[in-house]
Copies of this chain bind each other. A is one copy, B any other.
């Protein structure tokens, strides 16, 4: 096990009606003027925004609102938020939505007190030293941004999707009410579940030996997702299954299952080019990329994939042919994704095989290699995308 720091100071309130406590929580963490930042109209139509506003009024907290955050949140909305916060002397951001909304809020929170262009943090030109405090009310179990210190934003010009991170942008509190996720369409639910599983797999495939505790914790989340996701696809109002998925999504990404081990993140990196180019859902892109990545890197550590196959997908170990077991695990993952309505190849995603050179170029490896479980060259990425383009569930 490698040395590590683990710090997850976010206070989580979980369960029915917990959003009604948002005003009290903002006061607890020192907010006096609030930006309510949200995404789609569903937050308005469902009555959630009205309940949030009511809670702020009851706790005498003045606020301004900014909606319209899109999936794969854009820099343009961030600039709008920064300007509004400065003009209105906002000192607390309440993010009401999913990962895109939270990531946009995080970008605003570091942009407001910064003299330069907030994109500097995402272009890695400077590092985060201060941020406005933020709180979240989560409406989709997926990104894990409610418990993480990272943010991903897309620059419209050039469609560059980049990340920034710091403990300073971890939410002060996150409110998780599984009821709020019951109205999600099946496709978005499936995309969220895929993202959660991907966050675990990015940590699971490690070159660090002897990390049984985090291996087992990773498997715990994956087993839960395999049990609960089909239940919510079949029965969207199943509160218990929604609740299990929602907490799994947070634990999957606050790094408690990833500490002390090298991690991968190449599937996320490659996927970012897909959603950057086609504006597809991040989870859908991951469903296409991740099993292909697994096939490509399988030989690097066959026994680790065999462990996944047996412990996570319940496949009997073939002791004479571990690689056959490993392959069955990867294919079981792909079949699972297909069963929950996810695309598993380019055609189903709406991507084009002829775009692969462009996708590789945007990924920007040049003559270099990425880090991770297996360090990938541009040619490797092209091969992974080619595998992804043609994949089938059988």
Contacting residues of chain A (1-54) with chain B, CB-CB under 8 angstroms: 1-9, 11-16, 18
Interface residues of A in 181-218 (CB under 8 A from B): 209-214, 216-217
Copies of this chain held together in the complex: 2
Among B15, B18, B227, B251, the residue within 8 A (CB) of A217 is B251
Inside 8 A of A211's CB, which chain B residues have their CB?
Answer: 244
A213: which B residues are within 8 A, CB to CB? 220-221, 224, 228, 244, 247-248, 251
10 closest cross-chain pairs (CB), A and B: A3-B15, A216-B220, A210-B240, A9-B9, A1-B243, A220-B220, A6-B12, A7-B11, A213-B224, A213-B244
The answer to whether A219 and B217 touch (CB under 8 A), given A1-B243, A14-B259, A256-B256, is: no
Q: Is the CB of A18 within 8 A of B3?
A: yes
CB distance from A116 to the nearest CB of B (A): 27
- Within the complex, what minimum Cβ distance (angstroms) separates A184 from chain B? 18
Q: Which residues of B contact A16 (CB under 8 A)?
A: 3
Residues of B within 8 A of A227 (CB): 212
> What chain B residues lie within 8 Å of A216 (beta carbons)?
219-221, 223-224
A356 CB, nearest partner CB in chain B, Å: 37
Which residues of the other chain, B, contact A18 by a CB distance below 8 angstroms?
3
| Separation of A71 and B254 alpha carbons in the complex (Å) | 34
List 20 additional A-B contacts (Cβ < 8 Å) besides A1-B243, A9-B11, A213-B244: A1-B14, A1-B15, A3-B15, A4-B14, A5-B14, A6-B12, A8-B8, A9-B9, A14-B259, A14-B260, A211-B244, A212-B228, A213-B220, A213-B224, A213-B247, A216-B219, A216-B221, A216-B223, A247-B259, A247-B260
- Distance between Cα atoms of A216 and B6 in the complex (Å): 21
Query: Which chain B residues border A212 with CB–CB below 8 Å?
Result: 223-224, 227-228, 244
Give the size range of A's interface with the partner: 35 or more
Point out the residues of chain B lying under 8 angstroms from A9, CB to CB: 8-9, 11
Say yes or no: A1-B260 contact (C-beta < 8 A), given A217-B220, A220-B220: no
Interface flags for A145-169 (1: CB within 8 Å of B; 0: not) read: 0000000000000000000000000
Give A245's nearest chain B residue, CB to CB: B213
Please name all residues of chain B whose beta carbon is closer than 8 Å to the beta carbon of A11 when the two chains form the complex.
Answer: 5-7, 9
Q: With A and B bound together, what is the CA distance between A214 and B16 in angstroms?
A: 18
Q: How far is the CB of A174 from chain B (nearest CB, A)?
A: 10
CB of A331, distance to nearest CB on chain B (Å) = 23
Q: How far is the CB of A179 from chain B (nearest CB, A)?
A: 11
Residues of B within 8 A of A256 (CB): 251, 256
Which residue of A6, A7, A213, A259 has the most chain B CB atoms within 10 A of its CB atom?
Answer: A213
Question: A77 to B270, alpha carbons, bound, how many Å?
Answer: 58
* Complex contacts, A15 vs chain B, CB 8 Å: 1-4, 260
8 Å CB interface, A337-364 against B: none
* Cα separation A4 to B1 with both chains bound (whole Å): 32
Q: Contacts of A259 on B, CB cut-off 8 Å?
A: 14, 247
Return chain B residues, CB-CB under 8 Å to A12.
4-7
